[in-house]
């Protein structure tokens, strides 16, 4: 059985197939010729962290595919009271056809897949955010017409987004340069993986070095969910890691800017750069819907 636990588990072919399917589903939805690929199926959506885009796009996506989605907040289920994930997995597998989970530990997502018997989709952990990165790759390909040979740069925290972008970009034939302060580097599992790709992956301390000649420039918040108490320390640590006009002047002239949202204007990105690239950023947000519908069809269709 296939899951989407992290992009490290997927082949380049898996990614490409889902991106093609996402384009097809977007076309079908826009032209009112959408088919009910998941009629009668139910997706459980476990949320142990907040969400706007992930929750709405999965729920609407499942509805558009002819199925239904159940919102399961950890506050109102036994998950929040400590019922072991091994048991939750075996119970929910008997009611549902797939589970999307947003939580802290990657190990919880892996355990759901190990003990359950239905496809599991990672809707964000502290380690990675694969659904977001599939939507990002879809958006880049839509705007630039290809992925292979393009250069992406990511400025900021070595967080779930940076981890998934490194893997997704390299598996799609892109090169990626990141810039992060000391002690905020991406996960070692990711840098180990990236070694196979030689100088297609580069890590810098200064944003200027990373952004040179980029086709795509990406950032994310400096304090992720669960790190709110460190927010002030992080604002200091990331001083100088802002995407602003001066930095963008070093990227290619037709470079696009992406941000998974929510964005903190004046911190990781200026309001000017954000608004100049709002069309791309909100297309990216829309593409969460199409890319996740593709993931669900890929994993859950009979």
Q: Using CB under 6 A, which of the segments 47-55, 165-173, 275-283, 294-302 binds ligand CP?
A: 47-55
Which one among 34, 70, 225, 263 touches ligand NVA, defined by CB under 6 A?
225
Q: How many of the other CB atoms lie within 10 Å of CB of 82?
A: 6
* Total interface residues for ligand NVA by CB under 6 A: 9
Contact yes or no for 3/160 (Cβ under 8 A):
no
| Active-site residue, 81 included | no
* Encoded tokens for 294: 């593709």
| Active-site residue, 260 included | yes
Q: In what order do the strands lie in the sheet with 120-122?
A: 68-73, 42-47, 98-102, 120-122
| DSSP states of 17-69 | HHHHHHHHHHHHHHTT----TTTT-EEEEEESS--SHHHHHHHHHHHHTT-EE
| Active-site residue, 128 included | no
Q: Is 260 in the site for ligand CP (CB under 6 A)?
A: yes
Residue 138 phi/psi, 5-degree rounding, is -60, -45
Q: Decide whether 116 or 207 has the Cβ nearer to ligand NVA.
A: 207
207 alpha carbon, distance to own chain's centre: 22
Which one among 172, 224, 270, 292 touches ligand NVA, defined by CB under 6 A?
224
Which one among 4, 19, 47, 54 touches ligand CP, defined by CB under 6 A?
54
Q: Which of 64, 136, 220, 234 is catalytic?
A: 220
Q: Is 60 in the site for ligand CP (CB under 6 A)?
A: no
Select from 157, 162, 106, 155 the least CA-distant residue to 133. 162
Q: Decide whether 175 or 224 has the Cβ nearer to ligand NVA.
A: 224
CA distances from 108 to 6, 105, 113, 126 (A): 12, 6, 9, 11
Interface characters, 88-127, with ligand NVA (x: CB under 6 A): ------------------------------------x---
Q: How long is the chain?
A: 302
| Active-site residue, 132 included | yes
| DSSP states of 240-269 | T--B-HHHHTTS-TT-EEEE-S---BTTTB
Q: Using CB under 6 A, which of the segments 113-121, 155-163, 192-200, 244-252 binds ligand NVA?
A: 155-163
Q: Which does 161 bind (CB under 5 to 8 A by kind): ligand CP, ligand NVA, none?
A: ligand NVA
Q: Which of 3, 55, 102, 259 is catalytic?
A: 102
Q: Is 284 in the site for ligand NVA (CB under 6 A)?
A: no
Q: Which of 55, 187, 260, 292 is catalytic?
A: 260
Q: Is 4 in the site for ligand CP (CB under 6 A)?
A: no
Could you tell me which residues are beta bridge partners of residue 259?
Answer: 219
| Least distance CB 132 / ligand CP (angstroms) | 5
Q: Which of 53, 141, 234, 288 is catalytic?
A: 288
The residues carrying an active-site annotation are: 102, 129, 132, 220, 260, 288
């Amino acid at each position: 059985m296939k899951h989407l636990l992290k992009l490290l588990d997927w082949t380049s072919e898996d990614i490409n197939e889902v991106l093609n399917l996402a384009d097809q589903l977007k076309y079908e939805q826009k032209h009112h010729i959408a088919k009910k690929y998941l009629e009668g199926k139910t997706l459980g959506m476990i949320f142990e962290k907040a969400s706007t885009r992930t929750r709405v796009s999965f729920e609407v996506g499942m509805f558009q595919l002819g199925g239904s989605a159940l919102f399961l907040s950890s506050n109102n289920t036994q998950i929040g009271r400590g019922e072991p994930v091994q048991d939750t997995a075996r119970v929910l597998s008997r009611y549902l056809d797939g589970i999307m989970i947003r939580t802290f530990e990657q190990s919880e997502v892996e355990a759901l897949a190990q003990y359950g018997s239905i496809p599991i989709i990672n809707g964000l952990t502290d380690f990675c955010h694969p659904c977001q990165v599939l939507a990002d790759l879809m958006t880049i390909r839509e705007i630039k017409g290809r992925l292979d040979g393009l250069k992406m740069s990511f400025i900021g925290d070595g967080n779930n987004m940076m981890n998934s972008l490194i893997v997704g970009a390299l598996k799609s034939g892109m090169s990626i340069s990141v810039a992060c302060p000391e002690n905020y580097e991406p996960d070692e599992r990711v840098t180990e993986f990236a070694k196979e790709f030689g100088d297609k992956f580069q890590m810098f301390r200064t944003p200027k070095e990373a952004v040179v000649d980029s086709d795509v420039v990406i950032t994310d918040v400096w304090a992720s969910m669960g790190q709110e108490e460190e927010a002030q320390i992080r604002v200091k640590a990331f001083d100088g890691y802002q995407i602003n006009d001066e930095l963008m002047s070093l990227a290619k002239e037709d470079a696009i800017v992406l941000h998974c949202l929510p964005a903190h204007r004046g911190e990781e990105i200026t309001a000017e750069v954000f608004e100049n690239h709002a069309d791309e950023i909100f297309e990216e947000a829309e593409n969460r819907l199409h890319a996740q519908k593709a993931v669900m069809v890929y994993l859950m269709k009979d």
